[in-house]
Structure 1
């Protein structure tokens, strides 16, 4: 068994679950087992901040982060701030 954490962060809250999964388990299996509300809106995953494919095998202590789509383009936001708007 391995112990992993699955996390989904929103602007005002964080949903997280610590799971014990059989070895070997994948990112997709951990996400499915966590069943966090809102996870269906996620477009990608990361393990310790590095983008990971769903079939990536997990190791003891891994933190799986569910990544939501961007609401605004960061470059556009910087340009808007630079223009003073």
Structure 2
């Protein structure tokens, strides 16, 4: 019996480059298994595909070892933020206030 295959995408954006890889996996493949078989590990060997946080269409997948992929899913690999967004906003506001005070 022929195993049904489904089409998915795997995306990752590093600091210097990004990749979108189309993949065909057997129906019932888990998110983690799809990642491991997608080829993204060859493109980004620094990634720990066994532990990295992932999501599908912007929603975090809590249990990628057990959640099966669906046709058309876009698996996104998340990386740590380089800066805390709240801290960046705070510094920008302080800089703007300082510039405003100098101009008065």
Range into which the TM-score falls when normalised by the shorter chain: 0.7 to 0.9
**Structure 1: gaps spanning 5 or more residues:** none
Which residue of 1 is the match for residue 53 of structure 2?
44
Which is richer in helix? 2
Q: What TM-score comes out, normalization by structure 2 length?
A: 0.73
Q: Following TM superposition, by how much is the alpha carbon of 1:70 offset from its aligned partner in structure 2, in angstroms?
A: 1.2
Q: Following TM superposition, by how much is the alpha carbon of 1:43 offset from its aligned partner in structure 2, in angstroms?
A: 3.1
Deviates further, 59-68 or 33-42: 33-42
The RMSD of aligned alpha carbons is: 1.9
Which is richer in strand? 1
Q: Following TM superposition, by how much is the alpha carbon of 1:19 offset from its aligned partner in structure 2, in angstroms?
A: 0.8
Which residue of 2 is the match for residue 82 of structure 1?
93
* Higher radius of gyration, 1 or 2: 2
Aligned pair count reads 85
Which residue of 1 is the match for residue 27 of structure 2?
23
Q: What TM-score comes out, normalization by structure 1 length?
A: 0.87
Which residue of 2 is the match for residue 4 of structure 1?
8
Ranges of 4+ aligned residues in structure 1 off by more than 6 Å: none
Distance of 2:59 and 2:48 partners within structure 1: 20
